[in-house]
């Protein structure tokens, strides 16, 4: 047995006991161990688990007693008290913990052997030397601009002594107010701007966002006075006054008790993951105007809408609410702001202020020069730059570019504050279209963590004070819930089903329109009749249909709307099965009108759409047999009545999407007997394709093309090909090199940390119904296109949908053909399901339906299963209905309840953990129980039934290695991609986490990818032998080619135009870099992230970041399209087009290479110019009758 029994313990926490055992374990050579603290009638006891029986024997021989009266070889003392130890009389229960300890022991032994110096065998505590310091208290406040000094203005002061700790990933300030109560302020290093010390005992932490604040209480467990029970509450401040200032005050000052510690703190900088710590002369002085006085004076000013129109007031309010600068500094700006509004009008003034906030002011920080006159100088400089760009034509072009979109202001609510950002263009919805003249009265609000991440349950942390007080108080009208921005009061309105999952909702402020005074309550009533819906979640979902993001809309006359019956029949048990759940039909004439509603839709010309219409939602598919304008809806699509809206709103349309494996699907397929070699082969192929992309420009272009990297209008793959044809390599340009490096690393990390492996013989399609009844039970028809050509997939295939938990969530079906005359041939990029059989196939795939669900199809022969498993079938539950109509307060409480009880991620995590550890895998009873719990959680909004955390099956404390978090990725212009060392914080309040190497396929796949080796290989392949100025080379090439063609465009005449165009492009790009950042008030995305079209995330992409990446990519494509159109012009001659292109490229070549300069504009210009030169070369060759051997576009042989 590897367990040792410890008793006679003093009162202490489990983490403290683990720390106390560090030296005794190290003395016997145990470099890995785990301790579990228990309690009993005779006091505190614990089980110490060691990596091997031999080490357990040595420990007991060294520290154990043969009897309580005998003496041990060495006394085992914990906090001064002698502890009794012996072999445990029970077998080790958790063998996975032992496995993880063995792995950790082996790693530590290898490390110790390599690093140990001669004569250093004496064991020592593995504690960071001098990383904890006594402090006399702390203050929080802000830096204030000053002409000569760096000035800190304190706003809140705590004089209670405590400690400051520098840990591997964070700084912790602990204030011990009594033995039983301790406050903790947690500041992660990635949220730290600066750490500085003055010449005395003060240390300052300048932050991007507020710290996480906790209240720790020590109590003894009722059954034993010997074991401490540590409770931990998340709070908004250590008291009411701190809570009031925490969101505005992002500089923390601690005063060291010992003057000698000053030097020790300085020496910690750049060691063990700690940022640089620098000395600096700092004056701590009270503000010239007390914060609350200045704040309320500013609020009073901004409330005067006749002087400060709302869009201007929003930007000025942002400066204070986002802790960018103190309110007294903003007050200094107001006279010039009023003058600006009168000079250029509210619309231009608001845009200038937005750009000023985003690009010029940032945070008034320790190195800020925004003091006195410099503040006004920066303002005047921004006015001068922006007035040249913000012309009437600019706004016309912006509205044209963003047709069917809305200009939306956003707010983030965190545990400590309310942060504003935007406005930015985003997909519109029915409500915003209906009230397009009043968009400034709507807010999109997200409830999130301080650093912009999704607010989630933390293990062993009670978040009630945040969720049920901080958050609920801002949303529940019964508690006066509202948000006041620049004097305008917004109240909770609603949310869509998808926004609920990202903790996002809509607020609105009352306004007067043609219908009178519009409030949130009245607006909801105008959407339809919801009086018969008594479940708050279902009520919210139905109202939320009007808030779904939509792209285009088309009017439907009452005579064109037809209700048709659902296709349904009872099964053998008498249960009614609906085969047409969520899908209707549409005629050719109506399809063509839908195409005209949006340029994007018209370009794609789809025949299957996801829609919102009045009270209906779901899919509509073309039925060519319908004449005239016809929209056919089924009862399963109609969710409520009473809507007067006659517009059909398009959410999306059918597209062919690639197929990727994921970890839950891999686990189910492994347990369904798909071989390891199949998965390893797919991953190896995918990794090799990434390596090829770094070795060859053609493979790089192919990768960009397949993955849809960057703007489609930019034609980046074609550009890479073309450069290669000219004997040039894209990697000679640092920006393009970083772009490809980022694109490759994103894909590699997706494979390693998410199991997201591409399946070349797979695809993802939306599902519709076979209206012709030609498909039999177990058959599907796949209607898809590849490169605009129809593709037919026949034979046995696998079909599934996410999330996958149950063995029967993956089914083998037969994909068949249909006659050429079949109406199904008119459908594009969808999978058609049969309406025959005992049960609808979509419902067998994790409870899917046809209202927009995406289905994954694999036709790779290596994945074909030998048989089908019975799909999951869970009893339906009666919704928890109220005994009265649902009101706004019920919906608000449900929103917060969902944040607290959305356990799908936790359930999936537990499911994967148990499936990895149990021999039965996903067939284990606990996994089947978790699959049912996942189904309950998914239906929680509809039914009101939620899963209790306490009911989750227990799992080992040890986790498989593939579940370990990945390192953060930092993007630097100088150093490219960086991966800081990943070291876990030594947190006294959290349990030690152990990891074991999984011997299942997910572990093998995880370990097969060596991230650092891959990145080193890619850099070796990409790095040129010597640096080249690729843009200068291209500039000379274009001049030479045009000279050969006897063309000399007057490009010098267009330098001013080119300078303005670049400035406008860069302004819009910076706007995207800020607007799509999780924390736009503190940091922006890299240019490479926007250019590639993917938000990298800290460790891995969140759901919200994936959705925002898609939006950002579309927005960047629109910016590129607009820029190309501006350069080319609609009626310009060839000479003028070439002149504009050359002028724009010259601006980039001659403009120098400043550190903060954006780089991508040059490549937009090169793409346009290369296209024009290519067309000219083709014309000349054609005119001379030469065979077409393209100079620019053809591939070189042997590549």
Pick 965 or 797 by higher pLDDT: 797
Q: Please give the structure tokens belonging to residue 975.
A: 């150093």
Mean pLDDT of 316-337: 92
Question: What's the rounded Cα separation, in Å, for the pair 942 and 945?
Answer: 8
Give the mean pLDDT of 670-683. 97
Measured distance between the N- and C-terminal CA atoms of the chain, rounded to whole angstroms? 62
Q: Judging by DSSP bridges, how do beta strands 170-178 and 181-188 pair with one another? A: antiparallel
pLDDT of residue 1183: 67
Average pLDDT for 923-934: 97
Question: Which pLDDT band holds residue 121 (cuts at 50, 70, 90)?
Answer: very low
* pLDDT tens digits for range 1034-1044: 999 999 999 88
Mean pLDDT of 219-248: 78
Helices 310-321 and 327-344, packing angle to 10 deg: 160
How high is the pLDDT of residue 755? 95
pTM: 0.87
Cα(20)–Cα(76) distance, integer angstroms:
10
Calpha distance 412→452 (Å, rounded)? 8
Is the pLDDT confidence value at 624 over 50?
yes
pLDDT surpassing 90 at residue 1002 = yes
The label of the residue with tokens 């004496």 reads 122
Length of the chain (residues): 1199
**How would you label 897-928 residue by residue, b for 16+ Cβ within 10 Å and e otherwise?**
bbbbebbbebbbbbbbbbbbbeeebbbbebbb
Is residue 1079 very low, low, confident or very high in pLDDT (cuts 50, 70, 90)?
low
Which is more confident, 86 or 970?
Answer: 86
Give the C-alpha separation, 978 to 967, whole Å: 10
Region 117-125 average pLDDT: 39
The pLDDT of residue 117 is 37
- Summarised one tens digit per residue, pLDDT across range 421-468 is 889 888 889 999 999 999 999 999 999 998 888 888 888 889 999 998
3-109 and 654-690+756-872 in the same fold: no
Q: What is the CATH number of domain 3-109?
A: 3.30.70.330
| Predicted pLDDT at 1189 | 38
Residue-averaged pLDDT of the chain: 87
Query: What burial letters (b/e) apply to 160-184, b meaning 16+ CB within 10 Å?
Result: eebbbbbbbbbbbbbbeeeeeebbb
CA distance 524 to 507: 12
Chain centroid, CA 689 distance in Å = 26
Q: Over 80: is that where the pLDDT of 123 sits?
A: no
Kindly give, in sequence order, each residue whose CB lies less than 8 Å from that of residue 708, ignoring residues fewer than 6 positions away. Answer: 1093
Domain regions of the chain by residue span: 3-109, 132-284, 290-390, 393-527, 552-653, 654-690+756-872, 696-753+1025-1180, 888-955
Q: How confident is the model at residue 1025 (pLDDT cuts 50, 70, 90)?
A: low
Tokens of 136: 């006399």
Residue pair 492/543 in contact (Cβ under 8 Å)? The answer is: no
Assign 988 a pLDDT band (cuts: 50, 70, 90): low
- Confidence band, pLDDT 50/70/90 cuts, at residue 44: confident
Which pLDDT does position 149 carry in this prediction? Answer: 77
- pLDDT of 202 strictly over 50: yes
pLDDT at 128: 45
pLDDT category at 977 given cuts 50, 70, 90 is: low
How much of the chain exceeds pLDDT 90, in percent? 54
Non-local CB neighbours of 434 within 8 Å, separated by 6+ positions: 645
Q: What is the mean pLDDT of residues 718-740?
A: 89
Type and span of the H or E element at 1118? helix 1103-1128
Residue 193 reports pLDDT greater than 80: yes
| pLDDT at residue 975 greater than cutoff 60 | no
Give 256's pLDDT tier (boundaries 50, 70, 90).
very high
Is the confidence at residue 945, as pLDDT, over 60? yes
Per-residue pLDDT band at 981 (split at 50, 70, 90): very low
Q: Mean of the pLDDT values across residues 207-232? A: 74
% of the chain exceeding 70 in pLDDT: 89
Q: How much is the average pLDDT of 1149-1175? A: 85
Average pLDDT over residues 291-320: 93
Q: 1188 falls in which pLDDT band (50, 70, 90)?
A: very low
Is the pLDDT score of 371 beyond 70? no
pLDDT at 366 exceeding the cut of 90 = no
278-279 and 192-197 beta bridge pairing: parallel
Residue pair 1100/754 in contact (Cβ under 8 Å)? The answer is yes
The fold of 654-690+756-872 is Barwin-like endoglucanases (2.40.40)
Mean pLDDT of 1179-1183: 76
Task: Please give the pLDDT value at position 987.
Answer: 56
User: What's the half-sphere exposure (Cβ side, CA atoms, 13 Å) at 800?
Assistant: 31
577-581, 714-718, 801-805: the lowest-pLDDT one: 714-718
Contact (Cβ atoms closer than 8 angstroms) between residue 254 and residue 282: no
**What is the per-residue pLDDT for 542?**
93
Indicate left, alpha or beta for 915 from its phi (over 0: left) and psi (-120 to 50: alpha): alpha
For 848-883, write each residue's pLDDT tens digit: 999 999 999 999 999 989 999 999 999 888 999 999
pLDDT at 972 over 70: no
Cα–chain-centroid distance for residue 1026? 38
- In SS3 terms, 702-734 reads as HHHHHHCCCCCCCCHHHHHHHHHHCCCCHHHCH
Between 437-451, 971-985, 1097-1111, the lowest mean confidence (pLDDT) is in 971-985
- Residue 562 and residue 633 in contact, taking contact as beta carbons nearer than 8 Å: yes
Do residues 551 and 404 touch, judged by C-beta distance below 8 A?
yes
């Amino acid at each position: 047995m590897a367990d040792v029994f410890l008793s006679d313990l003093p009162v202490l926490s489990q983490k403290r006991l683990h720390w106390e055992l560090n030296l005794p374990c190290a003395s016997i050579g145990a470099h890995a161990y785990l301790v579990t603290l228990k309690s009993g009638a005779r006091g505190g006891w614990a089980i110490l688990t060691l990596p091997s029986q031999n080490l357990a024997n040595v420990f007991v021989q060294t520290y154990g007693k043969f009897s309580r009266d005998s003496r041990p070889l060495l006394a085992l003392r914990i906090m001064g008290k002698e502890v009794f130890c012996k072999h445990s009389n029970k077998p080790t229960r958790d063998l996975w913990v032992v496995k993880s300890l063995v792995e950790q022991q082996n790693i530590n032994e290898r490390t110790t052997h390599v690093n140990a110096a001669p004569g250093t065998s004496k064991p020592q505590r593995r504690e960071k030397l001098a990383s904890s310091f006594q402090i006399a208290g702390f203050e929080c406040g802000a830096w204030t601009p000053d002409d000569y000094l760096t000035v800190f203005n304190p706003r809140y002061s705590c004089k209670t002594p405590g400690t400051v700790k520098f840990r591997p990933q964070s700084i912790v300030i602990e204030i011990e107010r009594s033995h039983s109560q301790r406050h903790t302020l947690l500041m992660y290093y990635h949220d730290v701007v600066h750490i500085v010390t003055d010449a005395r005992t003060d240390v300052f932490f300048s932050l991007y966002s507020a710290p996480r604040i906790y209240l720790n209480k020590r109590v003894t467990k009722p059954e034993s006075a010997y074991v401490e029970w540590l409770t931990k509450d998340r709070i908004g401040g250590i008291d009411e006054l701190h809570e009031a200032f925490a969101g505005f005050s992002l500089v923390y000052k601690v005063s060291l008790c010992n003057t000698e510690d000053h030097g020790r703190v300085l020496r910690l900088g750049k060691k063990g993951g700690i940022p640089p710590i620098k000395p600096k002369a700092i004056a701590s002085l009270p503000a010239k105007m007390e914060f609350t006085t200045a704040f309320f004076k500013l609020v009073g000013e901004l409330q005067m809408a006749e002087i400060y129109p709302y869009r201007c007031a929003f930007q000025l309010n942002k400066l204070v609410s986002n802790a960018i600068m103190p309110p007294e500094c903003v007050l200094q700006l107001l006279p010039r702001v009023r003058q600006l509004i009168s000079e250029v009008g509210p619309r231009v003034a608001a845009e200038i202020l937005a750009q000023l906030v985003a690009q010029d002011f940032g945070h008034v920080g320790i190195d800020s020069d925004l003091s006195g006159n410099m503040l006004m100088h920066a303002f005047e400089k921004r006015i001068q730059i922006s007035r040249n760009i913000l012309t009437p034509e600019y706004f016309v072009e912006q509205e044209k570019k963003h047709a069917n979109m809305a200009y939306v202001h956003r707010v983030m609510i965190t545990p400590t504050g309310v942060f504003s950002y935007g406005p930015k263009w985003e997909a519109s919805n029915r409500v915003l279209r209906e009230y397009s003249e009043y968009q400034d009265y709507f807010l999109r609000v997200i409830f999130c963590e301080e650093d912009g991440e999704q607010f989630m349950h933390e293990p062993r942390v009670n978040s009630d004070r945040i969720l049920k007080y901080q958050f609920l108080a801002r949303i529940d009208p019964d508690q006066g819930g509202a948000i006041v921005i620049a004097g305008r009061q917004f109240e909770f309105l609603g949310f869509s089903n998808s926004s609920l999952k990202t903790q996002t909702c809509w607020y609105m402020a009352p306004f007067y329109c043609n219908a009178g005074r519009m409030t949130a309550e009245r607006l909801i009533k105008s959407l339809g009749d919801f009086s018969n819906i008594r479940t708050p979640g279902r009520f919210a979902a139905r109202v939320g249909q009007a808030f779904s993001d939509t792209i285009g809309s088309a009017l439907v006359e009452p005579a064109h709307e037809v209700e048709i019956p659902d296709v349904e029949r009872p099964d053998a048990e008498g249960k009614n099965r609906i085969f047409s759940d969520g899908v209707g039909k549409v005629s050719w004439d109506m399809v063509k009108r839908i195409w005209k509603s949006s340029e994007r839709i018209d370009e794609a010309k789809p025949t299957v759409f996801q829609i919102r219409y009045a009270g209906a939602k779901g899919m509509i598919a073309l039925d060519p047999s319908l004449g005239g304008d016809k929209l056919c809806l089924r009862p399963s699509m109609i969710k409520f009545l009473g809507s007067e809206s006659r517009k059909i709103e398009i959410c999306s349309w059918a597209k062919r999407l690639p197929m990727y494996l994921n970890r839950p699907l891999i686990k189910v397929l492994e347990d369904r007997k798909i071989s390891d070699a199949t998965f390893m082969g797919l991953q190896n192929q995918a990794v090799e394709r990434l390596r090829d992309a770094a070795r060859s420009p053609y493979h790089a272009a192919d990768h960009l093309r397949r993955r849809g990297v960057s703007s489609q209008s930019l034609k980046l793959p074609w550009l890479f090909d073309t450069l290669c044809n000219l004997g040039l390599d894209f990697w000679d340009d640092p920006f393009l090199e970083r772009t490809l490096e980022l694109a490759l690393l994103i894909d590699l990390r997706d494979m390693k940390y998410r199991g997201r492996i591409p399946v070349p013989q797979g695809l993802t399609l939306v599902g519709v119904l076979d209206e012709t009844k030609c498909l039999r039970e177990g058959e599907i028809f796949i209607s898809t296109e590849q490169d605009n050509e129809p593709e037919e997939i026949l034979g046995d295939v696998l079909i599934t949908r996410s999330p996958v938990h149950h063995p029967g969530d993956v089914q083998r079906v037969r994909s068949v053909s249909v006659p050429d005359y079949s109406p199904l041939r008119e459908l594009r990029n969808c999978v058609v399901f049969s309406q025959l059989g005992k049960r609808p196939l979509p419902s067998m795939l994790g409870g899917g339906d046809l209202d927009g669900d995406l289905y994954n199809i694999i036709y790779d022969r290596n994945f074909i299963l030998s048989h089908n498993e019975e799909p999951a079938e869970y009893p339906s539950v009666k919704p928890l209905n109220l005994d009265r109509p649902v009101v706004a307060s019920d919906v608000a409480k449900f929103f917060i309840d969902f944040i607290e009880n959305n356990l799908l991620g936790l359930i999936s995590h537990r499911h994967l953990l148990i499936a990895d550890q149990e021999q039965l895998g996903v067939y284990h009873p606990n996994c089947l129980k978790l699959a049912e719990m996942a189904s309950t959680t998914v239906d929680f909004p509809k039914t009101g039934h939620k899963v209790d955390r306490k009911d989750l099956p227990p799992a080992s404390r040890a986790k498989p290695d593939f579940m370990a978090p990945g390192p953060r990725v930092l993007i630097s212009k100088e150093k490219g991609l960086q991966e800081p060392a990943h070291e876990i914080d030594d947190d006294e309040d959290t349990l030690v986490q152990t990891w074991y190497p999984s011997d299942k396929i997910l572990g093998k796949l995880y370990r097969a990818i060596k991230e650092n080796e891959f990145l080193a290989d890619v850099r070796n392949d990409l790095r040129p032998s010597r640096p080249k100025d690729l843009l200068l080379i291209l500039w000379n090439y274009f001049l030479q080619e045009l000279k050969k063609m006897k063309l000399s465009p007057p490009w010098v005449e267009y330098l001013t135009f080119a300078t303005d165009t670049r400035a406008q492009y860069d302004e819009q790009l910076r706007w995207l870099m800020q607007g799509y950042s999780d924390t736009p008030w503190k940091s922006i995305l890299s240019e490479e992230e926007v250019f590639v079209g993917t938000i990298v995330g800290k460790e891995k992409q969140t759901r919200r970041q994936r959705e925002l990446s898609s939006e950002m990519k579309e927005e960047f494509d629109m910016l590129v399209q607009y820029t190309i159109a501006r350069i080319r012009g609609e009626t310009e001659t060839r000479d003028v087009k070439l002149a504009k292109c050359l002028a724009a490229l010259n601006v980039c070549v001659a403009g120098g290479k400043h550190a903060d300069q954006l780089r991508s504009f040059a490549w937009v210009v090169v793409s346009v110019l290369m296209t024009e030169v290519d067309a000219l070369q083709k014309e000349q060759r054609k005119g001379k009758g030469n065979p077409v051997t393209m100079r620019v576009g053809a591939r070189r042989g042997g590549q």
